[in-house]
A and B are shown apart, each in its own frame.
Chain A
Amino acid sequence: MEVFKVKKTLTRKDDKKHFYFPFVLDKDYFELVINFKYFPKYYDDKEASIDLLCAEFERAGVCMSREDAIKKLPIGNLLTVSLDGPFGHIGNAHNQKNDIAYIINKEKSSYGFLNIDVVKGEYVVAVSTHSVVTDAVEFEVIIEVKE
């Protein structure tokens, strides 16, 4: 059963920010699922990507040729999701996957999340923009619960 949904389009101005979305569970459940996706993952402007890479390496004092930069393509967006509940931080998923469901329950939660009872109370799901390199990126979070 879906209990919360948020969909948002971000731009480069939203890079390196945390977006917090509170929601409430009105009773205890067996399991909570965070369905998280964002698109696009990769930046398809090759020349602009090379410029970004070369600029960052130059800032770090490392000489990088355009040929070497090409080997590091594609670059992409990185958004991560985390969850807090009535008793504190439940977990965080820091990986490159951009279309995935994270499960939270008492027995076997997804990697990065604690095994906990899904109890009634106030929760906060957060989306963190570690890297927004495309002109726009759209993310969606759908929270489902199971009895």
Chain B
Amino acid sequence: MEFYPFEMHTHTRHSDGSFLPSSLAESVKDEGLFGFCLTDHNATTGNAEAQKASEQLGLIFLKGLEWTTFHGHITVLGGHSTSDYREINPDTVVEQIKKIQKSGDIAVLTHPCRPGSPFCSGCYDDFNISDYDIFDGFEVWSSFNPHLNTINKNAEAKYDKLCEKGCKIAVMYGRDWHGPRSNDQLVAATYIGLEELNAKSVLKAIKERRTYISIGVRANIKLKDSLGNFTDLGGEVRAGNYTLVCRLQQELARFAPENVIVEKILLSGTALEEKIETKVSFGGFAKFLTLKPGFLKVELLGKVNGKKATLLFSTPFFVS
């Protein structure tokens, strides 16, 4: 299973972005991403142009939109459903998510910890949902320079707490791409483990939580059991002995920063007796682990342009 970089949170002139849908697709191609989802605020009218341009450029494209409500934002990925954002509020949101999921779409809670009104229209998650497992994805990192953003640290902590409660949700990054960026605006990507290179496979992979988010590192991370069977990120395994196997490469596509140094791998979560922090560099890495019921999260720590950063944050392995 290979993981490919995507951007799943984008905007065009069909809401408040500056790109035409076709120019957004060209930028996605230029940056070396494999594909994207168009998620204009409460609008789907740019999807047809973006799809046509993506087909011409050889990109994987997903139709979508962002429910931009007064109580929080949720991207709906897939383009199979219809909905009315004006009807979405804390009382109806779970029912509305179930409706779009029944159509084959998926729901990602976006920038849940970003301050909202009056700075931004309802960005902060005020849905007060009791069971976050309703979401397929959780935007742990958002915006430019995600590795330096305090708001993302709060989102990481919120995501960890959800995992501790037993939630199983794919981690996502969202550039929240509204237009061209400057050289000092660094970006990450959501890496998605695909069985096939098409939109249907992207949706399936996110539903099955085969994701990690990273700034500057392309990785392949698996758990290997005693019989030699491999489990991908987001997968479920039984308690027992495993070997964590990682292949780490610097991301060389244009969207990624050039000056990236990997220093440590941090293994954490309730599946371990205690956190494990070990020195690593680009290349291969393997670690024998005894896992108990809970979750096992993988992070890579290092530097981007000389500044300390979390380089990679994975969807955990879930241990029963």
Q: Which residues of A contact B (CB under 8 A)?
A: 15-16, 18, 43, 49, 52-53, 56-57, 59-63, 72, 75-76, 78, 80, 82, 89, 91-96, 109, 111-114, 126, 128, 130-131, 133
Cβ of A63: which chain B residues have Cβ within 8 Å of it?
150
Partner of A96, one of B16, B84, B117, B124: B16
Nearest B residue to A20, CB-CB = B86
Contact check, A56 vs B41: say whether CB atoms are below 8 A apart: no
Task: Give, as a whole number of angstroms, the nearest-CB distance from A69 to chain B.
Answer: 9
- CB distance A56 to B115 under 8 Å? yes
Kindly state whether residue B113 has any CB partner on chain A within 8 Å.
yes
Contact of B45 with A by CB under 8 A: yes
Taken together as a complex, chains A and B put the C-alpha atoms of A90 and B318 apart, in Å, by: 43
A126 to B114, CA, bound (A): 27
Known: A92-B42, A94-B15, A112-B14. A128 touches B117 (CB 8 A): no
Rounded to whole Å, the gap between the CB of A44 and the closest CB of chain B is 14
- Give chain B residues whose Cβ lies under 8 Å from the Cβ of A96: 16
Q: Write the nearest CB–CB distance from B22 to chain A, whole angstroms.
A: 13
- Whether B86 pairs with A126 at a CB distance below 8 angstroms is yes
Task: Tell me how far the C-beta of B173 lies from the nearest C-beta in chain A, rounded to whole angstroms.
Answer: 19
**Residues from 52 to 108 in B contacting A, C-beta threshold 8 Å:** 68, 70, 82, 84-86
Interface size class of chain B, counting residues whose CB lies under 8 Å from the partner chain: 20 to 34
Residue of B15, B82, B118 with most chain A CB atoms under a 10 A cut-off = B118
Quick one: closest A residue to B71, CB to CB?
A16
B interface, over-half SS: loop
Tell me if B68 and A91 are in contact (CB < 8 A): no
CB within 8 Å of A: which of B36-50?
Answer: 40-43, 45-46
**Structural contact, B45 and A111, CB atoms closer than 8 A:** yes
Expressed in whole angstroms, the Cα–Cα distance for A147 and B299 within the complex equals 62
Interface check B290, CB cutoff 8 A: no
> 26 interchain pairs (CB within 8 A)?
A52-B118, A53-B118, A53-B119, A57-B119, A60-B114, A60-B115, A60-B151, A62-B115, A72-B119, A76-B118, A78-B121, A80-B42, A91-B43, A92-B41, A94-B41, A94-B42, A95-B15, A111-B14, A112-B43, A114-B45, A128-B86, A130-B68, A130-B117, A130-B121, A131-B118, A131-B121
Residue of B with least CB distance to A52:
B118
A52 to B84, CA, bound (A): 30
Is the CB of B13 closer than 8 A to any CB of chain A? yes
Q: B45 — which chain A residues lie within 8 A by C-beta?
A: 91, 109, 111-114
4 closest A-B pairs by CB: A94-B41, A16-B70, A130-B121, A60-B115
Q: Could you tell me which B residues sit within 8 Å of A by CB distance?
A: 12-16, 40-43, 45-46, 68, 70, 82, 84-86, 113-119, 121-122, 124, 150-151, 154
Q: Please, which residues of chain A bring their CB within 8 A of the CB of B13?
A: 111
Residues of A within 8 A of B150 (CB): 62-63
Please give, as numbers and ranges, the residues of chain B lying within 8 Å of A61 by CB-CB distance: 113, 154
* Chain B residues with CB under 8 A of A126: 86
| Contact assessment for A112 and B40 in the assembled complex, using a CB-CB cutoff below 8 Å | yes
- A23 to B317 CA separation, bound complex (whole angstroms): 55
Contact A112 B15 (CB under 8 A): yes
Residue of B15, B40, B46, B154 most packed against chain A (CB within 10 A): B15
Task: Check A131 against B117 for contact (C-beta < 8 Å).
Answer: yes
| Residue numbers in B under 8 Å from A56 (CB-CB) | 115-119, 124
> B117: which A residues are within 8 A, CB to CB?
15-16, 56, 130-131, 133
- Other A-B contacts than A57-B115, A60-B124, A94-B42, 16 sampled, CB-CB below 8 A, are A49-B118, A52-B118, A53-B118, A80-B42, A89-B84, A91-B43, A92-B42, A92-B85, A95-B16, A111-B12, A111-B15, A112-B15, A113-B45, A130-B121, A131-B118, A133-B118
Cα of A126 to Cα of B40 in the assembled complex, Å: 19
Residues of B within 8 A of A49 (CB): 118
Cα distance, A104 to B41, chains bound together (Å): 19
A94 touches B43 (CB 8 A): yes
- Report the minimal beta-carbon distance from A68 to chain B, rounded to whole angstroms: 11
